Amino acid sequence: MSNQNFIDYVKICGKSGNGGAGSHSFFRDNLNAKGGPDGGDGGKGGSIILRGNAQLWTLLHLKYKRHIYCEHGAPGKKKNQTGKSGQNQIVEVPLGTVAKHPETFEILGEITEDGQEFVLLPGGKGGLGNVHFKSPTNQAPKYAQPGQPGREQWFILELKVLADVGLVGLPNVGKSTLLSVVSAAKPEIADYAFTTLTPNLGMVNYREYKSFIMADIPGIIEGASEGKGLGHRFLRHIERNAALLFMISADSDDINHDYQILLKELEKFSPELMFKERILAITKSDILDDELERALKAELQVDCNCVFISSVSGKGIQELKDKLWAIMNN
CA distances (Å), 319 to each of 102, 237, 305, 316, in order?
Answer: 45, 26, 11, 5
pLDDT higher than threshold 90 for residue 149:
yes
The residue out of 159, 193, 228 marking a domain boundary is 159
pLDDT higher than threshold 50 for residue 82:
yes
Same-domain pairing of 153 and 202: no
pLDDT higher than threshold 90 for residue 229:
no
Question: What does the mean pLDDT of the chain come to?
Answer: 85
Q: Which of 81-90, 181-190, 247-256, 292-301 comes out lowest in average pLDDT?
A: 181-190
The residue out of 159, 186, 203 marking a domain boundary is 159
pLDDT higher than threshold 70 for residue 143:
yes
Per-residue confidence (pLDDT) for residue 48, from 0 to 100: 96
Instruction: Using a pLDDT cut of 90, give the percent of the chain over it.
Output: 43
Burial 135-163 (b: 16+ CB within 10 A, else e): eeeeeebeebbbbbebbeeebbbbbbbbb
Same-domain pairing of 44 and 65: yes
pLDDT higher than threshold 70 for residue 18:
yes
CATH number at residue 42: 2.70.210.12
pLDDT higher than threshold 70 for residue 222:
no
pLDDT higher than threshold 50 for residue 3:
no
pLDDT higher than threshold 90 for residue 190:
no
- Using DSSP, state whether 281 is helix, strand or coil: strand
Residue type, 116: Q
Same-domain pairing of 179 and 154: no
Residue type, 287: I
Instruction: List, for residues 152-184, the tens digit of each pLDDT value.
Output: 999 999 887 777 888 888 887 888 888 888 887
Same-domain pairing of 195 and 292: yes
Q: How confident is the model at residue 5 (pLDDT cuts 50, 70, 90)?
A: low
Same-domain pairing of 131 and 217: no
CATH number at residue 243: 3.40.50.300
Per-residue confidence (pLDDT) for residue 215, from 0 to 100: 81
Same-domain pairing of 178 and 299: yes
- Using DSSP, state whether 120 is helix, strand or coil: strand
Instruction: List, for residues 293-327, the tens digit of each pLDDT value.
Output: 899 999 999 889 999 999 889 999 999 999 999 98
Same-domain pairing of 84 and 38: yes
Per-residue confidence (pLDDT) for residue 233, from 0 to 100: 57
Total domains, the chain: 2
Residue type, 106: E
Mean pLDDT for 252-266 is 90
Identify which of 86-100, 163-177, 183-197, 226-240 has the greatest average pLDDT. 86-100
Same-domain pairing of 8 and 144: yes
Per-residue confidence (pLDDT) for residue 196, from 0 to 100: 46
Instruction: List, for residues 275-287, the tens digit of each pLDDT value.
Output: 889 999 999 999 8
Q: Where are the alpha helices (DSSP H) in the chain?
A: 175-182, 231-235, 255-269, 290-299, 317-328
Same-domain pairing of 150 and 195: no
- Using DSSP, state whether 279 is helix, strand or coil: strand
Domain that includes residue 47, residue range: 1-159
Same-domain pairing of 177 and 311: yes
Residue 13 backbone phi and psi in degrees, to 5: -115, 125
The residue out of 110, 132, 159 marking a domain boundary is 159
Instruction: List, for residues 89-126, the tens digit of each pLDDT value.
Output: 999 998 889 999 999 989 999 998 999 999 999 999 99
CA distances (Å), 284 to each of 52, 295, 312, 317, in order?
Answer: 39, 16, 8, 12
In contact, 59 and 129? CB cutoff 8 Å: no
Same-domain pairing of 172 and 151: no
Same-domain pairing of 137 and 226: no
Q: How confident is the model at residue 192 (pLDDT cuts 50, 70, 90)?
A: very low
The H or E element that residue 108 is part of is strand 107-111
